[in-house]
Amino acid sequence: MDFQPTEDQRDLRAGVRDLLAGRYGREALRASVDTGAPLDRALWRELGEAGFFALRLPESEGGVGLGLPEAVLVFEEAGRALVPGPLVATHLAAGVVPGAAAGAAVVTAFDLDGPLVTHLGEADAVLGVSGLPAGEPVRSVDPLTPLYRVAAPYGDGDCSAYRDEGALLTAALQLGSALRTVELAVRYAGEREQFGQPIGAFQAVKHLCARMLVRAEVARTAVYAAAVTGDAGEVAAAKLLADEAAVRGARDCLQVHGGMGFTWEADVHLHLKRAWVRAEQWRTAAQAQELLARELLVSAAPVGPVG
Amino acid sequence: MDLTYTEEEQDFRTRLREWLAKTLPELPARPSPDDWPGRRAYDLGWQRRLYEAGYAGLHWPVDAGGRGATPTQHLIFLEETERAGAPYVGANFVGLLHAGPTIAAEGTAEQRARWLPPVLRGDEVWCQGFSEPDAGSDLASLRTRAVRDGEDYVITGSKIWTSHAEVADWCELLVRTDPAAPRHRGISWLAMPMDAPGVTVRPLRTLAGSAEFAEMFLDGVRVPVANRVGAENDGWRVTMVTLSFERGTAFVGEVVACRRTLGELARAAKANGRWDDPVLRRRLGRLHGEFGALWRLTQWNVSEAGRSAGGVPGIGGSVFKLAYSHARQELYDTAAEVLGAHSLSLEEEWTLDRLSSLSYTIAAGTSQIQRNIVAERILGLPKGR
């Protein structure tokens, strides 16, 4: 047993981080917020060319031939950079919807409970649904995640076959965001001075930051473990803990930023709003908890070696 | 990232499982929690069986009498012994997990030969003389003095929260040998015989009702200079070696036990109808997810230790301890919800567990201290006052 990323996996993650820092850094993020253009088709294609969507397709089908652990590391980086768009649905559609693997098509999914769907106006397809349903735009809390209301019953197919993988990859996005907000909070706490010293020297602020890291590290282990085992219970736990790490992490980060954190200029609100969106996608906290509770009853001794 | 065990590791697990299945039924009945001599005899008896079967000091280096097992094998050992319901390390905790590894890492050949074999064989019990009434989490402010007199140190002061003090043969004692030096310097690590004249032990009753630990008064106790491990005034560094062991794998068996308790809680809730309350049910579901993640975090930390030199667990132990100690308290608060008014009865095992869980955010560095460690040493935030 060696539950640590391999050299190749670390390199992959570092490569994606570099790619995204160059192509979708802070200025690009703020530009897309300012222009109200949540989806950049050129970036989508570049992500496709880099193998972002075709990562798990077999090489014989033009894919990269890697597995869920690698996909999770890549999505963690996308979450850190707050890349907008239906990344998870398009990744799941690779090999199913023409053009998805290459990033030529944008694919969304009915992954929210109820008649709302994200990015419908920019999408070429909806996962598991033939044709493109019509939808009314709804003002969205997240400036980079447009929402549309579709008429019920929405869609002739469903995405339940993709639920576990969708939940896991979404958890990976949440994880990246959670880790990023720890960094943002720590950096700000080290720079911002009050009462003659950096606010990070105050225990109250230190403890906020330490709690953020603990939540993020527990979530990280859950996400990586679920990627290795693919177990439905572990995926539910990963989603639950990563949602919490991202949402509460962003809130704590906002608190550390004080009044600045409440402004549109700070990036913190973007992390929080996206984390709220993702928490509603694929598997909510209540659904994850119910699944885990059921598992407690069926498995007498939920402990043991894997494999 | 690989969670499968190698063939060698699986073989180790299988042999251990077979040995446990054969050995555990032969064990005598467990003594009551307040019967300290009985507990000592029971824990030492178990240690002797481990020694005879070749499982003693599994994770200790070979030249210290251990088996030089990999961190993963040690993890399997702790997991399997807990699953099989084997006795806890008990009175041997300090000897096996603190003092022993410290002597193995820092002691002279003579010191290793004198103190390590009796720990492994189950002949001698150690206790830990670190905390003082005015030096708990702020360990560096300890005041117990040791003054050199010929070939001896003469020790005066007091210690507190000393588990197993009444039945210990040796104490790993931190003393101030240079009062003029800065706080962290001027401290030395000594092995003190508990039967030395001038040592008085007074049991302290915990809020759980048991005499789990004790106060210790030291009045002119003479300890040979030869009993000092590490250089004079270098005790702080020696101690850090000890603490890093404690924060690594000390809770493995407990995490396994907590996961089992969760299954029992779910079945109890199903039986008494509390399961139909979605709030309670979801709380149990959440805890199941959290303890699953804590188990994976253990494997993560062990894998990391396996890659580091010497297998000394990293600072991630603070992250684990913070998450685990709070989850454990949440677990037994939830157990009380399942039990309802029955949780008020001390006849319920979960009630005693609930009481004892209150110590987890205090012992071995409070959660507040752990958060400072995480913030300053992992996140790099500035030191404050």
Same domain, B273 and B358: yes
pLDDT digits (tens, 9 = 90+) for A188-200: 999 999 999 999 9
Measured between alpha carbons, how far is A304 from A286 in angstroms, rounded to an integer? 26
- Would you say residue B119 lies in a domain? no
Closest chain A CA to residue B264: A300
- Would you say residue B116 lies in a domain? no
Please, are residues A218 and A225 in contact by the beta-carbon 8 Å criterion?
no
Both tokens of B142, joined, read 């300890």
pLDDT digits (tens, 9 = 90+) for A153-182: 666 567 888 999 999 999 999 999 999 999
- Would you say residue B315 lies in a domain? yes
Q: If you average pLDDT over every residue of chain A, what do you get?
A: 94
Q: Is B13 on the interface with A (CB under 8 A)?
A: yes
* Percent residues over pLDDT 90 in chain A: 88
Instruction: Quote the pLDDT of residue B136.
Output: 80
Helix, strand, coil in percent for chain B, rounding step 5:
55, 15, 30
Nearest to B379 among A1, A203, A213 (CB): A213
| Domain end marker among B201, B233, B265 | B233
CA torsion angle for A207, A212, A218, A221 (degrees, to 10)?
Answer: -130
CA angle, B84 as apex, B80 and B85 as ends, to 5°? Answer: 120
How far is residue A38 from each of residues A74, A112, A142, A274, B261, measured CA to CA in Å?
Answer: 20, 19, 10, 12, 47
Cβ neighbors of B318 (< 8 A, separation 6 or more) are B247, B365, B370, B373, B374, B377, B378
Measured between alpha carbons, how far is B6 from B13 in angstroms, rounded to an integer? 11
| Domain end marker among B88, B103, B137 | B88
pLDDT (mean) for B346-364: 92
Same domain, B260 and B328: yes
- Would you say residue B120 lies in a domain? no
| Domain end marker among B66, B88, B110 | B88
- Report the DSSP beta bridge partners of residue B157: B218
Domains: count for chain B: 3
3-state class (DSSP) for residue B222: strand
CATH number of the structural domain spanning residue B134: 2.40.110.10
Is the predicted pLDDT of residue B29 greater than 60, yes or no?
Answer: yes
**Residues composing chain B:** 385
Same domain, B253 and B368: yes
CA angle, A188 as apex, A187 and A194 as ends, to 5°? Answer: 135
- Would you say residue B103 lies in a domain? no
How is residue B60 annotated by DSSP? S
Instruction: Quote the pLDDT of residue A113.
Output: 84
Same domain, B135 and B202: yes
What is the 3-state secondary structure of chain A?
CECCCCHHHHHHHHHHHHHHHHHCCHHHHHHHHHHCCCCCHHHHHHHHHCCCCCCCCCHHHCCCCCCHHHHHHHHHHHHHHCCCCCHHHHHHHCCCCCCCCCCCCCEECCCECCCEEECHHHCCEECCECCCCCEEEECCCCCCCCEEEECCCCCCCCCHHHHHHHHHHHHHHHHHHHHHHHHHHHHHHHHCEECCEEHHHCHHHHHHHHHHHHHHHHHHHHHHHHHHHCCHHHHHHHHHHHHHHHHHHHHHHHHHCHHHHCCCCCCHHHHHHHHHHHHCECCCHHHHHHHHHHHHHHCCCCCCCEC
State the pLDDT confidence band at A306, using cuts at 50, 70 and 90: very low
Instruction: Quote the pLDDT of residue A9.
Output: 97
Cβ neighbors of A116 (< 8 A, separation 6 or more) are A138, A147, A148, A149, A150
CATH number of the structural domain spanning residue B345: 1.20.140.10
- Cis before B203? omega within 30: no
State the pLDDT confidence band at A302, using cuts at 50, 70 and 90: very low
Instruction: Quote the pLDDT of residue B304.
Output: 84
Please, are residues B324 and B330 in contact by the beta-carbon 8 Å criterion?
no
Nearest to A292 among B10, B288, B384 (CB): B288
pLDDT digits (tens, 9 = 90+) for B117-141: 999 999 999 999 999 998 887 888 9
Closest by CA to A69, choosing from B5, B7, B3, B299, is B3
pLDDT digits (tens, 9 = 90+) for A236-259: 999 999 999 999 999 999 999 999
Query: Which amino acid makes up residue B109?
Result: A
Structural domain of residue B77, as residue ranges? 7-88
Same domain, B252 and B229: no
Instruction: Quote the pLDDT of residue B209.
Output: 84
Same domain, B73 and B32: yes
Same domain, B158 and B228: yes
Please, are residues A155 and A131 in contact by the beta-carbon 8 Å criterion?
no
Instruction: Quote the pLDDT of residue A153.
Output: 66
Measured between alpha carbons, how far is B30 from B43 in angstroms, rounded to an integer? 9
Closest by CA to B288, choosing from A275, A301, A223, is A301
The nearest CA of chain A is from the CA of B239 a distance in Å of 24
What ipTM was reported for this prediction?
Answer: 0.94
Measured between alpha carbons, how far is B378 from A256 in angstroms, rounded to an integer? 18
Closest chain B CA to residue A68: B1
- The radius of gyration of chain B from alpha carbons, rounded to an integer in Å, stands at 21
- Would you say residue B385 lies in a domain? no
- Would you say residue B312 lies in a domain? yes
State the pLDDT confidence band at A36, using cuts at 50, 70 and 90: confident
Same domain, B252 and B364: yes
Query: Which amino acid makes up residue A142?
Result: D
- Would you say residue B384 lies in a domain? no
Run of H or E including B153: strand B152-163
Closest by CA to B226, choosing from B158, B168, B150, B169, is B150
pLDDT digits (tens, 9 = 90+) for B175-190: 999 999 988 899 999 9
* Percent residues over pLDDT 70 in chain A: 95
Chain A contacts in chain B segment 264-293 (CB below 8 A):
266-267, 270, 278, 281-286, 288-290, 292-293
Residues of A in contact with B285 (CB under 8 A): 288-296
State the pLDDT confidence band at A300, using cuts at 50, 70 and 90: low
Same domain, B272 and B373: yes
pTM of the model: 0.94
pLDDT digits (tens, 9 = 90+) for A213-236: 999 999 999 999 999 999 999 999
Chain A contacts in chain B segment 68-87 (CB below 8 A):
72, 75-76, 79, 83
pLDDT digits (tens, 9 = 90+) for A106-129: 999 999 988 899 999 999 999 988
pLDDT (mean) for A51-69: 95
* Interchain contact, B376 vs A206, CB within 8 Å: yes
Is the predicted pLDDT of residue A274 greater than 80, yes or no?
Answer: yes
Residues of B in contact with A289 (CB under 8 A): 281-283, 285-286, 289
Instruction: Quote the pLDDT of residue B244.
Output: 61
Is the predicted pLDDT of residue B310 greater than 60, yes or no?
Answer: no
Same domain, B293 and B346: yes
Measured between alpha carbons, how far is B57 from B64 in angstroms, rounded to an integer? 9
Label residue B14 exposed, middle or buried (CB < 10 Å: 0-12, 13-18, 19+).
exposed
* Percent residues over pLDDT 70 in chain B: 96
CB atoms under 10 Å from CB of A33, counted, come to 17
Both tokens of A176, joined, read 């990246």
State the pLDDT confidence band at A202, using cuts at 50, 70 and 90: very high
Same domain, B375 and B267: yes
CB atoms under 10 Å from CB of B46, counted, come to 23
b/e per residue B151-165 (b: at least 16 CB within 10 A): ebbbbbbbbbbbbbb
Which residues of B are known catalytic residues?
246
Q: Which of A13-17, A82-86, B147-151, B365-369 has the lowest mean pLDDT?
A: B365-369
Nearest to B381 among A189, A221, A229 (CB): A189
Same domain, B52 and B12: yes
Most B CBs within 10 Å, among A4, A235, A291, to test the B interface: A4
Nearest to A237 among B289, B303, B380 (CB): B289
Measured between alpha carbons, how far is A55 from A94 in angstroms, rounded to an integer? 9
State the pLDDT confidence band at B316, using cuts at 50, 70 and 90: confident
CB atoms under 10 Å from CB of A229, counted, come to 17
Please, are residues B175 and B144 in contact by the beta-carbon 8 Å criterion?
yes
